[in-house]
């Protein structure tokens, strides 16, 4: 096993066509990494990739359905064929839905769990394994305040899935630590993103903001900055951690 640095690394960001994913992809690209924007909505991901790199030399879009291990394996091979072995993996893709707890249907629960938990587990397993073979890697899993406090504006299936992400992060952090691969989570509270405004009805959003101790929604560009920090070479001493960004809604 040989050690490899992330300088001018190869980053894969899942759910890169969405609001938070787009911010993260742009930040990693600005840090000098080549970025694969992976999303089931590949056309939207391609728009961002073209914005970042018109000739496709440093940013490209690929199709990835994060609910299935085979899709991660295919994405890994595509990454290798385009640029080589990945050094950074950001598991950002998720389904955010509100639902009534006591009437939540089985298929709704399963669909959200399959997307949100499978994406983290198999992203860490497939890409983490490839990184471990080379002796270097940085994995960041996007968790949520909902997985820590049980959720407020989101559904029980979403909160359940985000709680599982914290455990998966610890499992893979322990497994991969000796191979030069760190695995960490970020748990945002409500941020200024289209998905928040789509999930929380307009008549409730003001009340949600009023309930945040700092009195405003979070900045997604700051989350991207945190991803940039956790994926640096010298972030080797941070693994298995969850960084909270919630405006004071959950203090520990």
Contacts of 213 (CB under 8 A, 6+ apart): 247, 248, 249
3-state secondary structure of 85: coil
Phi-psi region of 31 (alpha: psi -120 to 50; beta: other; left: phi over 0): alpha
3-state secondary structure of 104: coil
> Rounded to an integer, what distance in angstroms lies between the CA atom of residue 100 and that of residue 24?
31
> Rounded to an integer, what distance in angstroms lies between the CA atom of residue 90 and that of residue 185?
10
- Do the Cβ atoms of 66 and 125 come closer than 8 Å? no
Contacts of 69 (CB under 8 A, 6+ apart): 118, 122, 125, 126
Reply yes or no on whether 158 is catalytic.
yes
The residue annotated as part of the active site, out of 136, 158, 236, 250, is: 158
Q: Which residues are catalytic?
A: 158
């Amino acid at each position: 096993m040989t050690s490899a640095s992330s300088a001018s690394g190869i980053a894969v960001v899942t759910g890169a066509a969405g609001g938070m994913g787009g911010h993260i992809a742009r930040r990693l690209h600005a840090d000098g990494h080549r970025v694969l924007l992976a999303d089931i909505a590949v056309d939207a991901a391609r728009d961002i990739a073209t914005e970042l790199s018109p000739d496709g030399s440093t940013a490209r879009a690929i199709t990835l359905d994060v609910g299935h291990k085979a899709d991660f394996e295919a994405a890994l091979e595509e990454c290798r064929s385009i640029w080589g072995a990945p050094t950074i993996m950001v598991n950002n893709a998720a389904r955010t839905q509100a639902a009534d707890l006591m009437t939540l249907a089985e298929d709704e629960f399963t669909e959200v769990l399959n997307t949100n938990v499978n994406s983290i587990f198999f992203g860490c397993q497939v890409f983490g394994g490839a990184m471990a073979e080379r002796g270097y890697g940085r994995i960041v899993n996007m968790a949520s305040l909902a997985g820590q406090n049980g959720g407020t504006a989101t559904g029980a299936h979403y909160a359940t899935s985000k709680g599982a992400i914290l455990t998966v992060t610890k499992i893979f952090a322990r497994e991969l630590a000796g191979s030069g691969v760190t695995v960490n989570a970020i748990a945002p509270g409500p941020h200024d993103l289209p998905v928040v405004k789509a999930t929380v009805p307009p008549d409730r959003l003001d009340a949600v903001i009023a309930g945040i101790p700092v009195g405003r929604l979070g900045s997604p560009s700051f989350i991207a900055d945190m991803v940039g920090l956790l994926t640096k070479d010298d972030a080797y001493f941070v693994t298995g951690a969850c960084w909270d960004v919630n405006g004071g809604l959950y203090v520990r």
